Structure 1
Amino acid sequence: MSSVKTCAASSVEAALPSSKRPGFKWLLGFILPVGLALAWEVAVALKWADGRLLPTPSRVFTTLAALAKTGELTNHVLATLQRVALGFGFGVAAGTVLGAVSGYWSLARRLIDPTLQALRNIPSIAWVPMFILWFGIFETSKVILIAVGVFFPIYLSLSGAILGVDRKLVEVGRIFRFSHAEMITRILLPATLPAYVISLRSGLGLGWMFVVAAEFMGAEEGLGFLLVDGQQTGRPAVILASITAFAILGKITDWLLASASARFLTWQDSFKPAE
């Protein structure tokens, strides 16, 4: 019986157009970047454009390979990953706690939300001089700056999601005399989980952005340091190599986070976009 099901599934998949096969869908995301890269390669090769200030992708990947061969790229990547991981962890913890408190208790929201909303509008680079004065130029100031960037989207999304929970669901919990813990775990948590997952991904993206500003603060290693070093030494290939590394690492970590959180959202009967 199982062999019959397997054959049937195989025949159905073979009958689908190639663009609708599960193994083909993830390749669609490569069409745009690969097409642009090939177009620039051709333009430079045919002398239609100058590749001095904007190196070709082949030259960028050659630079990445050279950095990887010497071990320099690995050191920079590990340093940046460590800072992002620590900053993301602290930012998520603070954003989750304060966002939940602000969304659930109106008194706490009146006390802390105006101040946090004002702080949210301060540009990231404006924190750099103060953090250097307070924490020095070592790892503490870098991690805190990243945590600040991660904190605000999580706080804002979670508190807003709690305030946006359907009032009828809350009334049902009160009718059944749910305790505060039961109200949170059985009503508020499932209702806010999709928005919370999106806020985690948004916070992670801002963490990757803030790490560049963090590594301007006297860093001796990291992709942000590599980027600045390429700018100061006039090596555009190194600059683009560090940007490419940021893009690849950011996409991989976002995919890992989205994949890990998807299992908690299997109950959703969500909208399916048209193929």
Structure 2
Amino acid sequence: MADTSLTLGGARLGTRRPGFTRVRRYAVPLLLLVIWEVAALAGLVNERRFSSPSQIATTLWHLSLSGELGRHLLVSLGRAASGLAIGLTLGTVLALGAGLSRRGEDAVDALLQMARTLPHLALVPLFILWFGIGETPKIGLVALGCLFPIYLNLFAGIRGVDAKIVEMAGTLDLTRSEQIRHIVLPGALPSFLVGLRYALSISWLSLVVGEQINASSGIGYLAITAQDYMRTDIIMACLLVYALLGLGTDALVRAAERRLLVWRPSNLKD
């Protein structure tokens, strides 16, 4: 039978077995967990300062049974979703305005390029002065962190569309809006999805800090409360929840990429 796979940049393209790919993807993290657990059992790790995986799993189980984890998780998800929605909307609108128009670029790009160099987590004191200690600074911190990766990647994607394709569209008598809808935006979609992945990771990082601003609920509040009682297992369990949330949301975007970018030869075989 003829080999129907293609070669791109020295890599083989073809069909991968999904089960094997998932196992290979998580093999290294699982191996590190095993080493960590063995070191804890051997007494090489002080469990009061660095809880073992089994102890963290037990703590998560008890928090889940009591309903405490679910209650705080829902609050954190609400904050992250609200901030992401605001940042995603603003970033997309600004990127479209700057990417599709030279005047739009002159109006907003320089300001955003200066603003993005500021560490947004260092703005927490100003956010407290401006918005108080309620939900607004927490959501605003997430929104600000998500805005820049969306803007930068979508702007670059729009400007990176092949000019020859746009010129060819002009020969088909497509209007400006049709060119944008059928050529520019689909061409910029891969860059937008990359920006979305960055934005999601930054949203969880921002939330970790935001939920330490006089919060009374949320995963960050749970971790801060555990610090007062020297409960290292709860703190590390909260960090694990953040990590799993980041991994899960990233997996959702990767799944969307596979559906939306079916034309891209991304099934690489090592």
TM-score when normalising by structure 2: 0.89
- What residue identity is the alignment partner of 1:240? M
Q: Is the 8 A contact 1:153 1:199 kept in 2?
A: yes
**How much does 1:246 deviate?**
0.7
**How much does 1:272 deviate?**
3.8
Aligned equivalent of 2:243: 247
What is the CA–CA distance in structure 2 between the aligned matches of 1:114 and 1:237, rounded to whole Å? 45
Q: Is the 8 A contact 1:124 1:213 kept in 2?
A: no
What is the CA–CA distance in structure 1 between the aligned matches of 2:45 and 2:67, rounded to whole Å? 33
Given candidates 21, 24, 27, the residue that maps to 2:23 is 27
Given candidates 121, 124, 145, the residue that maps to 2:117 is 121
Comparing 54-63 with 37-46, greater Cα deviation is found at: 37-46
Identity of aligned residues (%): 38
What is the CA–CA distance in structure 2 between the aligned matches of 1:78 and 1:182, rounded to whole Å? 41
**How much does 1:36 deviate?**
1.4
What is the CA–CA distance in structure 1 between the aligned matches of 2:115 and 2:212, rounded to whole Å? 21
- What residue identity is the alignment partner of 1:118? M
Aligned equivalent of 1:274: 269
Cα deviation per residue 1:220-274 (whole Å; 9 max; x = unaligned)? Answer: 1111112222233322111110010111122112212322343221122x25433
Given candidates 97, 102, 118, the residue that maps to 1:101 is 97
Q: Is the 8 A contact 1:63 1:238 kept in 2?
A: yes
**How much does 1:181 deviate?**
1.1
**How much does 1:97 deviate?**
0.7
**How much does 1:84 deviate?**
0.7
Counterpart check, 1:48 vs 2:47: no
Larger RCO: 1 or 2 (CA < 8 Å, sep 6+): 2
Unaligned runs of 5+ in 1: 1-19
**How much does 1:153 deviate?**
0.2
Counterpart check, 1:89 vs 2:70: no
**Number of residue pairs matched by the alignment:** 255
Cα deviation per residue 1:99-144 (whole Å; 9 max; x = unaligned)? Answer: 1111111111112111111111111222212222222211122111
Moved over 4 A (4+): none
Counterpart check, 1:190 vs 2:147: no
- SS of 2:213's equivalent in the other structure is coil
**How is 1:1-275 mapped onto 2 (pairs within 5 angstroms)?**
21-268=17-264, 270-275=265-270
What is the CA–CA distance in structure 1 between the aligned matches of 2:127 and 2:104, rounded to whole Å? 27
Cα deviation per residue 1:204-227 (whole Å; 9 max; x = unaligned)? Answer: 111111111211211111111122
- What residue identity is the alignment partner of 1:58? S
Rate the CA distance shift 1:271–1:250 in 2: closer, same or farther, 3 A.
closer
- SS of 1:64's equivalent in the other structure is helix
- What residue identity is the alignment partner of 1:79? V
What is the CA–CA distance in structure 2 between the aligned matches of 1:88 and 1:156, rounded to whole Å? 16
What is the CA–CA distance in structure 2 between the aligned matches of 1:30 and 1:156, rounded to whole Å? 30
More helix by share: 1
Q: Is the 8 A contact 1:41 1:56 kept in 2?
A: yes
TM-score when normalising by structure 1: 0.87
RMSD (CA atoms): 1.6
